[in-house]
Amino acid sequence: MIQVHISPGEHRIALLRDADLFEFFVHRPASPDGVGDLHLARLLTHLPALGGSFVALHDAEGFLPDSENPARASAGTHLPVRITRAAQGGKGPRVTARISDAPGDVSPPVRLLARGASILQELQAAYPDEPVSNAPFDDAVEARIEALGRPEAMLPGGLRASFSPTPALTAIDLDSAGASAARALKAAAQMAANLAALPGLVREIVLRNLSGAILIDFAGLPSRKRRALEPALRAALAADRLRPTLAGFSHLGFAELSRPRLRPPLHEMLWSPLGIGLAALRQVAREAAAAPARRLALRAAPAVINALRAGGEAVAELDRLMTYPLVCVSDPALTRTWLIEDARD
């Protein structure tokens, strides 16, 4: 089942199998990630050292690799492009000029020509037999989603995965989460524990939408023995519809993966100021529904309040559900937390 939970400013979209979470995405109607969007862009400057050009889109600056610019358009040229990778990791969107549905009119100004498929449409195309439901997530699914915002996850086999995303790559460290056992027992059990963890590890990679270069440091195995995990790791990766590539194992024993970069990783969505603010609005909506007569105030970091004000559609949407408009209060003492309190007269 594909389940869509709609809250102020945000659609949370989950693919469920037997009530378990298999894929999860966040869609913000006021600021979609842009993947698949068709733009009339203007080429700004070509940078041979980077192997591409920066282009002006209607609301951002994108990067056009030389390999995706077959006409070798020069600076100042207007040309149709399609976004192939959303802005992420502090970098703007990546685009291609290799498109089959280019418009006939490429005269200025720079503008958005057509929206691409939404993530819901993408999931429906990938899983055409799955029904779509707008029912609220149950407590178990909400708890699973909340856990995806943490940098650690427990895996089958008793191992714990720690995720460390950087702009260049994501490092994943596996280690034993339990108390230390006898050294000989640990050595005998490590291979079995790593093998048991692989399907759950790939599930976490998919749910967190980690992409680009991914390095995995397995638990307790000498480098020379880690290659024995390759067949099982390849089998686990085959369940990912994005078809990541296993490049092999480094001399230090790290498994090296490459997963296509398309949409922003989940940690960037959840822990941006806007992501924190929208999570706070979901809690406000629950409290307002439970006590409609309360006048509520949201106290949060200035960056969070500013993000909500900049995308004011979410607060306005919430206000339509409440008896009294929400009062937003900036508090520099708060960072990733917020307080919901009674509004002062």
Cα of 12 vs its chain's centroid, Å: 11
Q: What pLDDT score was predicted for residue 188?
A: 64
Distance CA 237, CA 231 (A): 10
Q: Are residues 136 and 21 in the same domain?
A: yes
Q: Are residues 9 and 123 in the same domain?
A: yes
Mean pLDDT score, 279-307: 96
Q: What pLDDT score was predicted for residue 7?
A: 95
Tens digits of residue pLDDT in 20-42 = 999 999 999 999 999 999 999 99
The residue from 266, 289, 324 where one domain ends is 266
% pLDDT > 90, the chain: 85
Tens digits of residue pLDDT in 54-96 = 999 998 999 999 999 998 888 999 999 999 999 998 899 999 9
Max Cα distance, the chain (Å): 73
Q: pLDDT band for position 187 (50/70/90)?
A: low
* Number of residues written out for the chain: 345
Distance CA 36, CA 55 (A): 16
User: In terms of Cα–Cα distance, which of 155, 270, 166, 162 is closest to 203?
Assistant: 155
Q: Are residues 197 and 298 in the same domain?
A: no
Q: What is the CATH number of the domain that holds 57?
A: 2.40.50.140
Tens digits of residue pLDDT in 314-345 = 999 999 999 999 999 999 999 889 999 999 86
Tens digits of residue pLDDT in 191-242 = 999 999 999 999 999 999 999 999 999 998 888 889 999 999 999 999 999 9
How many structural domains comprise the chain?
4
Mean pLDDT score, 245-254: 95
* Owner of token pair 């106290």: 299
Tens digits of residue pLDDT in 151-172 = 999 999 899 999 999 989 999 9
Q: Are residues 231 and 211 in the same domain?
A: yes
Q: Are residues 160 and 177 in the same domain?
A: yes
Q: Are residues 89 and 132 in the same domain?
A: no
Q: Are residues 42 and 24 in the same domain?
A: no
Q: Are residues 14 and 60 in the same domain?
A: no
Q: Are residues 223 and 318 in the same domain?
A: no
% pLDDT > 70, the chain: 96
Q: Are residues 49 and 106 in the same domain?
A: yes
User: In terms of Cα–Cα distance, which of 8, 63, 18 is closest to 319?
Assistant: 8
Question: Which pTM was predicted?
Answer: 0.91
Q: pLDDT band for position 105 (50/70/90)?
A: confident
Q: Are residues 171 and 208 in the same domain?
A: yes
The residue from 237, 266, 295 where one domain ends is 266
Q: What pLDDT score was predicted for residue 345?
A: 64
The residue from 266, 290, 312 where one domain ends is 266
Q: Are residues 253 and 180 in the same domain?
A: yes
Tell me the residue range of the domain where 291 lies.
272-342
